[in-house]
Chains A and B, each alone.
Chain A
Amino acid sequence: MAAAESYPDDLRYHREHDWARIEDGEATFGITWYAQDSLGDLVHFEPPEEGATVTRDEPYAEVESVKAVSDVVAPLSGEVLEVNRAVVDAPEHVNDDPYGGGWLVRIRLSKPGEADALLDVAAYKQHLAEQG
């Protein structure tokens, strides 16, 4: 069952509709409710390899719905510590729970200061409103 629209207060957001939950030099990434709703039911998640380096603003993974494939952009730079295997096996977790069970990767941050450039929830909602 698809989740209701929401944007948690405790996350930081990237304009390409990704979120990051930052804790102690690590971060968990995912895509926002808006991103999964735009794509529709996800049927494939192409993850990065564990140990791979991801770079802020660069694609690090792909998510696919029946109709379309979309790059997932890294909100922050770092090294991939863990891929969410549950989403590899059942990509619909992203639709069901985009901020919980639908997380995509866990990262060790290489440039924690980059977080300052991300949007807080109010700024992200403003960005969504401007997109129409």
Chain B
Amino acid sequence: MQTLLRTPLYERHVALGARLVPFAGWEMPVQYEGVIPEHRAVRTDAGAFDVSHMGELSVEGANARGFLQSVLSNDLDRIGTGQAQYTLLTNEQGGIVDDLIAYELEPERFLLIVNASNREPDLAWLEERAPGDGIELRDVSDDCALIAVQGPRALERLGLPEAPAFTFEAGELDGVPCTVNRTGYTGEQGVELLVESDDAAGLWDRVLERGVVPCGLGARDTLRLEVCYPLHANDITPETDAISAGLGWVCALDKEFTGADELRRIKETGPDRKLAAFVMEDAAVPRQGMAIEEGGEVTSGSHSPMLEVGIGMGYVPAESAQPGSEITIDVRGRPRRARVVKKPIYPREES
């Protein structure tokens, strides 16, 4: 068995009594006190997540921008230095190799924060397509840790001013230097603090001293599902195209990038199936892999701690993807009714 990797915060998780589980090759906290209280802390106050397992790839050089424009779906010319952008690494079929956030550090220097399990495949993908000179690609994941602090009171608790989403700047928290990214995966206001590995435990301690609740990956998953952020390898994969996944808004189809032709074709003809969000009408918890009778299957499913019902996402035939459509989920042999809803399942305005 392969040894699990540990983040610089591992000792902190153990000391806090976290339940640790294997995730994407890492030994990560799934919960501390419990998924539901942690989830609610993020929706009502502020929670902190160790997301240091995520990968950081550095792309720099005279051709860095032009190269990334040719492999990423979104248009980097829409952002400038100090701004970030949600984007996709796509294949020739328009499938999703990974979803990631690109940070423009300088006009020809970028940091890509990618999914943990895609760190090596992404780097290999980029290396294979990079022109011979003018590009330096480096995996800098081991140098840095990432702590997400999310929730309506996150900024207040950290003593940070408001700033536009998808911007970042060098900063510090109680003397610990870090980069403050205005990004997140919960649907709440908040930041992701990028910090040197050696400073990570100190930063984590400062965050918790300010009354932020430690949260595990269990709550991270239910939070992102309530707001319908896709999870790579579940909802989006190299076999699912960006248009069917509802990610056309991050595909700049007026530029050329890998798979753009195919994505333009799918957009033109309309996808056969779409990634729909649904809420259970019968009492049941949908789970990944369950069949949907109308066609397709559940790609993410769980219990919504805010709505207190089963919720999920899955690819369904386009005619069943309209909000209001009734679908039936095969819950271990039992047909259970669900209704397709508009995304997000849990709108923040309700909080």
Residues of chain A having any CB pair with chain B under 8 Å: 2, 40-41, 43-44, 46, 62, 64-67, 69, 88
A45 nearest CB neighbor, chain B only? B283
User: How long is the Cα–Cα vector from A112 to B35 in the complex, in angstroms?
Assistant: 40
Is the beta-carbon distance between B303 and A40 smaller than 8 angstroms? no
For B303, the chain A residues whose CB sits under 8 A away are: 43-44, 64, 66
Closest approach, in angstroms, between the C-beta of A85 and any C-beta of chain B? 12
**Contacts A64-B285, A66-B36, A69-B287 given: A40-B310 contact, CB under 8 Å?**
no
A71 nearest CB neighbor, chain B only? B332
Closest approach, in angstroms, between the C-beta of B298 and any C-beta of chain A? 13
Closest approach, in angstroms, between the C-beta of A13 and any C-beta of chain B? 24
3 smallest CB-CB distances across A and B, nearest first, come from: A43-B303, A66-B35, A41-B36
Is the beta-carbon distance between A44 and B310 smaller than 8 angstroms? yes
B218 contacts chain A at the CB level, 8 A cutoff = yes
B17-37 vs A, CB cutoff 8 Å, 1 = contact: the mask equals: 000000000000011001110
Is the beta-carbon distance between B31 and A43 smaller than 8 angstroms? no
For A67, the chain B residues whose CB sits under 8 A away are: 30, 35, 218, 302
Is the beta-carbon distance between A41 and B35 smaller than 8 angstroms? yes
For A46, the chain B residues whose CB sits under 8 A away are: 284, 334
In this complex, the interface size class of chain B, counting residues with CB under 8 Å from chain A, is: 10 to 19
User: How long is the Cα–Cα vector from A40 to B37 in the complex, in angstroms?
Assistant: 11
B55 contacts chain A at the CB level, 8 A cutoff = no
Is the beta-carbon distance between B284 and A66 smaller than 8 angstroms? no
B85 contacts chain A at the CB level, 8 A cutoff = no
Interface residues of B: mostly helix, strand, loop or mixed? mixed
Is the beta-carbon distance between B285 and A40 smaller than 8 angstroms? no
Closest approach, in angstroms, between the C-beta of A65 and any C-beta of chain B? 8
Q: What are 29 contact pairs spanning A and B, CB under 8 A?
A: A40-B31, A40-B34, A40-B218, A41-B34, A41-B35, A41-B36, A43-B36, A43-B303, A44-B283, A44-B284, A44-B285, A44-B303, A44-B310, A46-B284, A46-B334, A64-B285, A64-B303, A66-B35, A66-B36, A66-B218, A66-B222, A66-B305, A67-B35, A67-B218, A67-B302, A69-B285, A69-B287, A69-B332, A88-B283
For B334, the chain A residues whose CB sits under 8 A away are: 46
For B284, the chain A residues whose CB sits under 8 A away are: 44, 46
User: How long is the Cα–Cα vector from A6 to B91 in the complex, in angstroms?
Assistant: 55
User: How long is the Cα–Cα vector from A44 to B35 in the complex, in angstroms?
Assistant: 15
User: How long is the Cα–Cα vector from A86 to B320 in the complex, in angstroms?
Assistant: 35
Closest approach, in angstroms, between the C-beta of A118 and any C-beta of chain B? 27
A89 nearest CB neighbor, chain B only? B283
- Kindly identify, within residues 309 to 351 of chain B, every residue whose CB is under 8 Å from any CB belonging to chain A: 310, 332, 334
Is the beta-carbon distance between B34 and A43 smaller than 8 angstroms? no
B222 nearest CB neighbor, chain A only? A66
For B310, the chain A residues whose CB sits under 8 A away are: 44
For B285, the chain A residues whose CB sits under 8 A away are: 43-44, 64, 69
User: How long is the Cα–Cα vector from A67 to B39 in the complex, in angstroms?
Assistant: 13
For B36, the chain A residues whose CB sits under 8 A away are: 41, 43, 66
For A88, the chain B residues whose CB sits under 8 A away are: 283
User: How long is the Cα–Cα vector from A88 to B282 in the complex, in angstroms?
Assistant: 12
User: How long is the Cα–Cα vector from A17 to B103 in the complex, in angstroms?
Assistant: 50
A66 nearest CB neighbor, chain B only? B35
For B222, the chain A residues whose CB sits under 8 A away are: 66
User: How long is the Cα–Cα vector from A40 to B31 in the complex, in angstroms?
Assistant: 9
Q: What 13 additional pairs, Cβ within 8 angstroms, besides A65-B35, A66-B218, A66-B302? A: A40-B34, A40-B35, A41-B36, A43-B308, A44-B284, A44-B285, A44-B310, A66-B222, A66-B303, A66-B305, A67-B30, A67-B35, A69-B332
B216 nearest CB neighbor, chain A only? A67
Closest approach, in angstroms, between the C-beta of B257 and any C-beta of chain A? 37
User: How long is the Cα–Cα vector from A69 to B284 in the complex, in angstroms?
Assistant: 11
A38 nearest CB neighbor, chain B only? B19
User: How long is the Cα–Cα vector from A21 to B310 in the complex, in angstroms?
Assistant: 32
User: How long is the Cα–Cα vector from A71 to B272 in the complex, in angstroms?
Assistant: 37
User: How long is the Cα–Cα vector from A69 to B308 in the complex, in angstroms?
Assistant: 16
For A44, the chain B residues whose CB sits under 8 A away are: 283-285, 303, 310
